[in-house]
């Protein structure tokens, strides 16, 4: 079997196993998002962001929309990273232009004690229903990625009660009441593990943990308050029959200095933002895990010619090795022309084939 005989529908899973594939797989963080007019139309019908995310039919519809336009190598469940705290009863809402807010933030020992792992067949059943529906609609075309926020990132929003530049309220809890912070993070780690196992049982074929705010921590607190709990989750996923075979990708944005530590977590892949060359990231993890990334999302605002050049630069930096999942270094922004995403996806596949022929 030559390279070009390899099936295209499992490029993404092959890359995460660091196995050869016919070309480099690509998907785009937030690929089902506001840059697509068809997404905005469905969002309009749903009435609100949470109305969209909590309705399995709508969630399925927007999950599949980008696949109808672009030759993406994976679908990712349309959902939010804050579904778990919402299911814990914290009252999630999205004020226009304000980002997420919780009506009942977690501040005191009694708030933490009250938190329980949500029922995956109860409050979070809508997520599993969406996965089952998407998986059926996908019909094996490409793998389906399930995901969750990391315990640290969930805790950032739960304790602050909203978005923040530095999430100093949770940090203060970590320095001043470390036992309480660990109690909160431990509950969240158990909830995230159960959530991802349930997603696997409902049809997810790969899993991602978004540690959006891990990069706000220095090396020692990163290991203590973020990485430790992601490592626990990976171990639990590997111990459960439903999720055992699923590759897990961790993405700690801004955690360039922590890549080697992250690679020790037992994950299959690491997301990498655009502030480091993939060659250096690969050296840091010593080829032990696959890497996902890492084009600067702002480059999608440039001309098709520049986009193609920068796509090739990212791929050249990774080199002709297995284990590269092409992606942006952060989510795509609403201002991007969908035609530019097509340019990106097609260039990844074309240049990936060219690289393999060298």
Catalytic site residues?
Answer: 30, 34, 43, 80, 157
Quick one: which segment of 7-15, 67-75, 240-248, 301-309 binds its own copies (CB under 8 A)? 301-309
On whether the CB atoms of residues 353 and 78 are closer than 8 A, the answer is no
Nearer to its own copies, 107 or 301 (CB): 301
Nearer to its own copies, 42 or 294 (CB): 294
Write the binding mask 317 to 356 for its own copies: x where contact by CB under 8 A, - elsewhere.
Answer: ------------x---x-x---------------------
Pairing status of strand 248-252 against strand 206-211: parallel
CA distance 215 to 252: 6
Least distance to its own copies from the beta carbon of 20, Å? Answer: 27
Least distance to its own copies from the beta carbon of 39, Å? Answer: 20
Nearer to its own copies, 304 or 322 (CB): 304
Tokens 């290991």 found at: 223
Contact call for residue 218 and its own copies (CB under 8 A)? yes
Backbone phi, psi, residue 128, to 5°: -70, -40
Backbone phi, psi, residue 209, to 5°: -120, 120
171-to-99, 162, 205, 213, 258 alpha-carbon distances in Å: 20, 14, 34, 11, 18
Least distance to its own copies from the beta carbon of 267, Å? Answer: 20
Least distance to its own copies from the beta carbon of 312, Å? Answer: 13
Tokens describing residue 189: 């780690």
Pairing status of strand 99-102 against strand 248-252: unpaired
Quick one: which segment of 114-122, 123-131, 191-199, 290-298 binds its own copies (CB under 8 A)? 290-298
CA distance 16 to 270: 9
CA distance 159 to 26: 35
Tokens describing residue 144: 């389906």
On whether the CB atoms of residues 347 and 312 are closer than 8 A, the answer is yes
Among 4, 91, 313, 354, binds its own copies (CB under 8 A): 313
Nearer to its own copies, 278 or 345 (CB): 278
Contact call for residue 303 and its own copies (CB under 8 A)? yes
Burial class for 177, CB neighbours closer than 10 Å (0-12, 13-18, 19+)? middle
Write the binding mask 175 to 204 for its own copies: x where contact by CB under 8 A, - elsewhere.
Answer: xx----------------------------
CA distance 231 to 47: 38
Nearer to its own copies, 4 or 275 (CB): 275
Nearer to its own copies, 47 or 334 (CB): 334
CA distance 111 to 114: 5
Quick one: which segment of 48-56, 151-159, 262-270, 303-311 binds its own copies (CB under 8 A)? 303-311
Contact call for residue 302 and its own copies (CB under 8 A)? yes
CA distance 301 to 306: 9
Q: How many residues bind its own copies (CB under 8 A)?
A: 37
Quick one: which segment of 33-41, 81-89, 131-139, 302-310 binds its own copies (CB under 8 A)? 302-310
Among 36, 131, 198, 217, binds its own copies (CB under 8 A): 217
243-282 residues near its own copies, rule: CB under 8 A:
254-257, 274-277, 280
70-99 residues near its own copies, rule: CB under 8 A:
none
Tokens 């990708």 found at: 249
Q: What is the DSSP string of 10-55?
A: THHHHHHTT---SS--B--TT-SSTTSHHHHHHHHHH-SHHHHHT-
Among 220, 241, 357, 358, binds its own copies (CB under 8 A): 220
216-to-54, 92, 253 alpha-carbon distances in Å: 30, 23, 9
Half-sphere exposure (Cβ direction) of 119: Cα atoms closer than 13 Å: 3
Query: Which residues are at the interface with its own copies (CB under 8 A)?
Result: 166, 168, 171-172, 175-176, 215-222, 254-257, 274-277, 280, 294, 296-299, 301-303, 306, 310, 313, 329, 333, 335
């Amino acid at each position: 079997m030559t390279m070009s005989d390899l099936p295209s529908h499992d490029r993404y899973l092959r890359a995460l196993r660091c196995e050869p594939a016919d070309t480099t797989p690509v998907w785009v963080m937030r690929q089902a998002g506001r840059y697509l007019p068809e997404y905005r139309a469905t969002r309009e019908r749903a009435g609100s962001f949470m109305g969209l995310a909590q309705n399995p039919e709508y969630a399925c519809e927007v999950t599949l929309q980008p696949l109808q336009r672009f030759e993406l190598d994976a679908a990712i469940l349309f959902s939010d990273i804050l579904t778990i705290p919402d299911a814990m009863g914290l009252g999630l809402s999205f004020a226009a232009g304000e980002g997420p807010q919780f009506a009942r933030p977690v501040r005191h020992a009694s708030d933490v004690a009250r938190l329980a792992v949500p029922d995956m067949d109860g409050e979070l059943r809508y997520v599993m229903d969406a996965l089952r529906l998407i998986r059926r609609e996908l019909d094996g075309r490409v793998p389906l990625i399930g995901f969750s926020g990391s315990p640290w990132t969930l805790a950032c929003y739960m304790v602050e009660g909203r978005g923040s530049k530095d999430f100093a309220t949770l940090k203060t809890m970590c320095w001043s009441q470390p036992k309480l912070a660990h109690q909160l993070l431990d509950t969240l780690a158990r909830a995230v593990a159960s959530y991802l196992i349930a997603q696997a049982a409902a049809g997810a074929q790969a899993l991602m943990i978004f540690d959006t705010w891990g990069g706000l921590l220095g090396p020692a607190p990163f290991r203590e308050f973020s990485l430790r709990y992601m490592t626990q989750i990976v171990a639990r996923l590997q111990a459960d029959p439903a999720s055992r075979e699923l590759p897990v990708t961790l993405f700690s944005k801004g955690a360039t200095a922590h890549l080697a530590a992250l690679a020790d977590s037992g994950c299959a892949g690491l997301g990498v933002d655009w502030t480091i060359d993939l060659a250096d990231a690969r050296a840091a993890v010593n080829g032990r895990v696959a890497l996902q990334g890492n084009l600067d999302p702002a480059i999608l605002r440039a001309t098709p010619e520049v986009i193609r050049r920068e796509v090739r630069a990212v791929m050249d930096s990774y080199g002709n090795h297995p284990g590269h999942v092409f992606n942006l270094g952060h989510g795509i922004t609403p201002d991007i022309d969908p035609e530019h995403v097509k340019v990106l996806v097609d260039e990844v596949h074309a240049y990936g084939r060219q690289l393999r022929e060298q």
